[in-house]
Structure 1
């Protein structure tokens, strides 16, 4: 058994819904005790987590979904947390009867994990859900999956990190893995293999193909364009749920401070925008010492660091090419051209030496082929689990 959040935690085990600001604070703060001895954990920004779970006023996801949050208590000490959510877009795109749980954190105690998961399942079952999947914290666009491989390193920006006993607790409750999401890493301070360089050179001789940097002075329009391509490009992927206009605007506002023009490319074919690639500096390197607090001085520190960021790692969270071009030769040309141009900017402007691509679905053949071509390798794996929910006998 691993240490509990408090060596003095004792008393009966119970669970309570999050119903107040004080409950929400305890829900968010739990991870500081759970990961106190984990050298690879990066404290999340508390304002971001509170906004994620705060309802429609701070997260437009609640415009098409509902969620409930719980705390597991051992006496007066919080020893676990979980969410359960039903999303109308998930029901449409992932199948009727599909519900999710997430935000799962727990001491190494099967009884606590069982109580959390059973509570979430009961809530889902009461809303007609017949299969529970998780973790989604809160959606596929936030932090999906449970880390099952790659515990020895720190996560990059917007990726999760978990204790190594979570998989055991979840599978012991009856869950089986249904989908793996991989992060691929590679050195970027040296040129790509010669084959990739030849492809890029060939693409540059095609006058119909142009990959341009994003224009931050037209940020709202550029963000809407990119996310429109994304909704089209990813529509056949497992787990895909389209972003709504309100979510697109929200994501754009959230990402704007960490958007750098030469790290986002839009591919145009005969003047039509048909693809994009987004790369982000690993902001975790800049926020780790803030210990989750932007105030009173953390925000000023972060803004200063973002003026001319120098980071070791760059993450590519999203790339997409419109469906009508997928599988065609031109799509490979634009993909490698965007990747190479961004690689150069990462090294020259940000001093980065390592890149991470991900996540990539385990069955996404085209993206895995690109990752293989640039000599990257899987360093972290996140797993989605599923369990059928038997209807209540009550």
Structure 2
């Protein structure tokens, strides 16, 4: 007979390592799970090493039975999210849970109850989840697309988690999707004509970023992003510590020809970030850079030859979003990056997302280039 299960809050480094280690056991037989680098996964949980925690607080919990870790969860509160309008997803009294994994439903329910109790004790009356942990990291529970691995910075979970969370009283509140497409195929004629028209417009310039001016280019992209996304569901502005973290994380996989900035009359008005799928390189490492993983990864980073390219972020300033110019700039950036991805990185597949289910403009662009939804992530809500 199994022993009694216990749920306990954690804060020691040893417990943090147990928290990080659990998925490696639970998903070891899942061919579509991508083991994150353990050092990176640990760093995300430590204040002072994760810029998001400069404006958030969290409590991590472990479930144990017979001395064995059998589940984990985080309860966290983003103080900036509390200041956002409630009709945009967060707002006053809204906490979150994330990093959710459990061996069975009884463990899952006990973990969710513990997270809710902590959030309620902190004055929260509503919970969104799973969010692991910022909206900009791994939002939502995978509910469609279990048959292939996620790309860089996207999550993966067991299919049964959906029923466990819903039976805990959570209701769907938002879906985010990723689209995939065969980038070796040229886009439909109407898209090609739109691109060609843009190329004849002297007011438009679509340029590569200059990695040697990383901070300057990042500031331009951040300005457009905060303007373009400010009315979106779940938006929380980036803070300087988070920007620093993103710079450190992304700089090794930033390539000039895969990131574009569109200018109109000399003013930056749109951007598109594309990243080679680092998951293809780290999956065989099983979370470890030693003894030889670091050398393999370094070699890959010098000149990635990858099947998949992911577009995690794209934006057009609000003043243009209702105009034809917005889609024209988007199609031009997508087409130029498509060409570079094929010729310089041997890529054959693109993935766009995540995209909010109610983002009509982005969903229309995805449809126009013949891409199809390949993964759906669901975010849940509950009053406590």
TM bracket, shorter-chain basis: over 0.9
CA distance in 1, matches of 2:287, 2:222: 29
Moved more, 60-69 or 296-305: 296-305
CA shift, 1:295, in A, is 2.9
CA distance in 2, matches of 1:48, 1:213: 29
CA distance in 2, matches of 1:63, 1:52: 12
Task: State the match for 2:53 in structure 1.
Answer: 62
Name structure 1 gaps, 5 residues minimum: 1-8, 390-394
Equivalences for residues 217-232 of structure 1 within 5 A:
217-232=212-227
CA distance in 2, matches of 1:67, 1:224: 29
**1:154 aligned counterpart, secondary structure:** coil
Task: State the match for 2:348 in structure 1.
Answer: 353
Selected match of 2:316 from 321, 337, 354? 321
The answer to whether structure 1 residue 251 and structure 2 residue 243 are counterparts is no
CA distance in 2, matches of 1:343, 1:126: 50
CA shift, 1:42, in A, is 0.8
CA offset digits 1:342-366 (Å, max 9, x no partner): 0001111111111000111010000
Structure 1 residue runs of 4+, over 2 Å off? none
CA shift, 1:20, in A, is 1.0
Selected match of 1:33 from 8, 25, 37? 25
CA shift, 1:111, in A, is 1.3
CA offset digits 1:226-253 (Å, max 9, x no partner): 1121111100000000001221122112
Selected match of 1:99 from 92, 95, 100? 95
CA shift, 1:16, in A, is 1.4
CA offset digits 1:90-125 (Å, max 9, x no partner): 101121111111000111x22101110000000100
Selected match of 2:184 from 185, 189, 198? 189
Count of matched residue positions in the alignment of Structure 1 and Structure 2: 379
Name structure 2 gaps, 5 residues minimum: 85-89
Q: What TM-score do you get using the length of structure 2 for normalisation?
A: 0.97
Task: State the match for 2:10 in structure 1.
Answer: 18
CA shift, 1:167, in A, is 0.4
Q: Give the RMSD, CA atoms, in angstroms.
A: 1.0
Task: State the match for 1:51 in structure 2.
Answer: 43
Task: State the match for 1:299 in structure 2.
Answer: 294
**1:53 aligned counterpart, secondary structure:** coil
Task: State the match for 2:161 in structure 1.
Answer: 166
CA distance in 2, matches of 1:344, 1:37: 37
CA distance in 2, matches of 1:20, 1:203: 56
**2:193 aligned counterpart, secondary structure:** helix
CA shift, 1:324, in A, is 1.3
Task: State the match for 2:87 in structure 1.
Answer: none
CA distance in 2, matches of 1:103, 1:224: 30
- Contact 1:220–1:249 (8 Å) recurs in 2: no
The answer to whether structure 1 residue 384 and structure 2 residue 384 are counterparts is no
CA distance in 2, matches of 1:156, 1:61: 22
CA distance in 1, matches of 2:73, 2:376: 21
CA offset digits 1:266-319 (Å, max 9, x no partner): 011111111100001111111111110123322221111111111111100000
CA distance in 2, matches of 1:343, 1:96: 42
Task: State the match for 1:216 in structure 2.
Answer: 211
CA distance in 2, matches of 1:335, 1:266: 10
CA shift, 1:30, in A, is 0.2
CA shift, 1:64, in A, is 0.8
CA shift, 1:11, in A, is 1.2
**1:268 aligned counterpart, secondary structure:** strand
CA distance in 1, matches of 2:39, 2:235: 27
CA shift, 1:370, in A, is 0.1
Moved more, 9-18 or 204-213: 9-18
- Contact 1:224–1:248 (8 Å) recurs in 2: no
The answer to whether structure 1 residue 115 and structure 2 residue 110 are counterparts is yes
CA distance in 1, matches of 2:247, 2:206: 21
CA distance in 1, matches of 2:125, 2:242: 27
Moved more, 371-380 or 224-233: 224-233
